[in-house]
Structure 1
Amino acid sequence: HNREGRATSGPPLIVNVRPAASTVRCVHTFLGSRALGIFGAGHLGRAIAQGLIDAEFPRDKLVLCHRGTRLTSEAVARANLAALIVDPQELVRRSRLLLYLVRPQDYGAIANFTLREDCVLLSFLAGVSLSRLPVKLSDEQCVRVLTSGPDTLRSKMGIAAVYPANNVLASELVSALHLRMIALRRESEVHAFTALGPCLPIALTHWEGLGHDVNEAELIETAQKFELADASVLVKWARAVQPRGLPEAERLRYISEATTPGGVTEAILRGIDIGERLPVALEGGIRRSRELSVA
């Protein structure tokens, strides 16, 4: 692959991943005595850490870091992950596989650290292309992964897009986390995937919470307009995982937890709030993803 996003061969596809007993064999071999580091311990970072622990990934090879805010520290402690926290410098030094999970607008946070020469970086940042990451790694050492929200990871019903799709380490982690994998032909497809994949259950929950009906055919049409593979599968997935019948406070908490400040979901919700139809608001989310990728 290359970090400018040229197409890789083969059609886009959705792969149903069924985790095997030993789900991370290649990751174990790759790490050797080194660690898997999660750089960023927000909602998604914590959910991924817990998912890996659930998949019997050894805790002594798992490290996390964050900016040290009180709220994050408290959330990490509640999740029983406090023992895994190290300072960012130590995490970068120890990690041969590094999962990058900061807010999209903070994508430059890793610029202050020197990554190991043998490190593979998995970037989970919506709207930030691989070519913009301030790291001195080859194209082969950088992989883009986009997952659905933390709630879908916890319920083992999530999806993930991976580019390039042939990276064994990323595929194995996706499998271990019980995520349904969507392979992308080119990196530019992440914009439509973000809005019409991970963001869609949140948008649907907000839309229906305001008393509107959902037109699934219209949503599939929007996805097809952006040449997104298996559009109907994504829409059906979103309908299956969106929470229903939540009390108002729970609904708002769900939406808040799944929304990154300045991110794509927030742009979609803002569009809905100013009276846009759902497909129009989703297209606004795609535009926001593109804006973030060149900001």
Structure 2
Amino acid sequence: MSVSPTGRQIVLREGEQTAAVVELGGALRGYFVGGRPVLDGFSADEPIVGGRGQVLVPWPNRIGGGRYRWNGEDFRLPLTEPEKGNAIHGLLRWTSWPVLEQHEDRVLLGVTLWPQPGYPFLLHVRVEYALGPAGPAVAVVARNVGTGTAPYGVGRHPYLTVGTDPVDDAVLTLPARKWLPADDSGMPAAAEPVAGSLFDFRIPRAVGAQHLDTAFTKLERDSSGLAAVRLAHPSGSHGTDLWLGEGVEFVQVYTGDTLPEPARRKGIAVEPMSCPADAFRSRAGLVELEPGAEHTFRWGLHAWTERR
């Protein structure tokens, strides 16, 4: 009997919507509306490549050199991106996330992050996926069940597709007033205004040949407190809004230029984040999660079709 490389497969349904969640890393494997893929995901018999759909806890993106200082003590994390000398995307990507509660249109998974070398803190983390009429809503809730204040950040790694392959013709709208330049190892500098730069996507435009692996912040939100990144088909016939809610202060956009073929520039990763890369050292957006405290992080998807 064969076993999926991503473990248990949980399928959610609501009307014409189908979503697939996997045990490995609590990842969102795929999302379909009327049979059309909204995510550039992966099949049940494939491994996860490029961080697709993963939960990034207790930090998203990178920590330079895997080193940071916290409460007067120096810590060193495993270098999980050795080619650049970084610790990348947290500690729960390759962990089994048990199902705590399951329904036709909703699933809750949870895992304990035990104290370990480089991160001697104790967290319980839950992720909930709920399909509603407008699309999936996702919440990641972390609770500090230890005795010390923990440095904490969270992110997600969905890749969007509107059926353009490569992504060059896809039209991107990104309501962010600032972007973060980064060096060759992915470490960001101070945020700069997008106005007048190649990183201004506040007015919709095609991605073109531009290479993006870029963090954005100062998100423009509506009256309900939500911001939305839109990826649309060049015809305007359909697209997806990835909305950013509570706990999301940054978003990374990645055009997949460093991925192996055939994944390269096939989809665009739009990554909600509570903090940018290297936040354990810079403290930018970093959450100081005190004992007994919780942090909530919400985002979701809305796939739309233009009615003619």
TM-score (norm 2): 0.28
Higher strand share: 2
Higher helix share: 1
TM-score (norm 1): 0.28
